[in-house]
Amino acid sequence: MFSACYLHDIGMLTSPKRRRLHDQNKDDIKHLQETVSGILEVAASNSSDTGLIPQLALNHIYDIHSSVERLREEIVRTEHPFVSEKELVSDYPKLPLSVAERRDIGVISSAHGKLKQEVAEIPEELHDGVHPINLRLLSLLLRIADLSDVSKDRVRQEVLERHYDNMSKYSIFHWVKHLSVDDFTIERQKTDMSSRTVVTMYIEHNYLPVGNLPKDILHHRCGNNCKLKYKEKYVTKFMLDGKK
């Protein structure tokens, strides 16, 4: 578990493979092609040259470059849990870990990017030859710990504002999420050894980010456990059918 805490994000250091960037079956690559085509059309309409290749102004070049870099960043962020697993298993021979330890840490690392129903498919118990290892439980604990690692002390608003236009929507979301959190605490309650343990998490926001949350996407994420209602100090709001 401790090894997974240190290593689960190691895939963030790896750039996307060339074949991934050239995979035209991926929706994000298709979107990039459409974006670049739109930039080229604008450049062609503004150019007095009737040649087949439009003359690109610097702003067009910058827009294309920014679009490509944002895509690369999105791929790294969204796919890094699975890249971490691959690299832990095969690409870091000098790590002082056995083959079995690499396998287990890789499974736990990849799980922090999976949905709940996908984590449920992880074998509940494996044996390292000495002790049973509950990979599913460890995977869930890492996921909770990773999601709980939020604090405005991790980021700076002035840095976000300076680089906002060049950041992917995923990075912006994570930065805004951290900036909104003043405090996060966990309380454990257990009355006696025979009762279940109740863990309560409290998150204190300095503001509450809002946005469009389509109902079908929420249900895909959390099924019947979706909480479509939240309470502010004086107001109760509902988020249904994509409305704020």
Residue 69 counted as domain residue: yes
| Residue 122 belongs to some domain of the structure | yes
| pLDDT tens digits along 173-213 | 888 888 888 888 888 887 777 778 888 888 888 876 555 55
Question: Does residue 84 sit within a domain?
Answer: yes
In a domain, 230, yes or no: no
- Please count the CA atoms within 13 angstroms of the CA of 203 that sit on its side-chain side: 17
Cα–Cα distance between 183 and 193 in angstroms, integer?
30
Contact assessment for residue 53 and residue 146, using Cβ atoms and an 8 Å cutoff:
no
Using CA atoms, how far residue 173 sits from 10, 34, 77, 210, 237, in Å, is 20, 24, 12, 11, 21
Tell me if 109 is assigned to some domain.
yes
The two tokens of residue 204 are 């204190």
Confirm whether 81 is domain-assigned: yes
Cα separations in angstroms, 199 against 38, 143, 186: 51, 15, 7
Secondary structure class of 175 (helix, strand, coil) = helix
- Per-residue pLDDT tens over the stretch 113-149: 888 788 888 877 776 666 778 888 899 889 888 888 8
Structural domain count, the chain: 1
Neighbours of 30 (CB within 10 A): 12
Residue position matching structure tokens 């990017």: 113
Hey, which of 24-28, 168-172, 234-238 has the most confident mean pLDDT?
24-28
Structure tokens at 85: 């697993």
**Domain boundaries, position 44:** 2-148
Residue 220 domain-assigned?
Answer: no
Q: What percent of the chain has pLDDT over 70?
A: 80
- Bigger pLDDT: 226 vs 9: 9
Query: For residue 159, is it within any domain?
Result: no
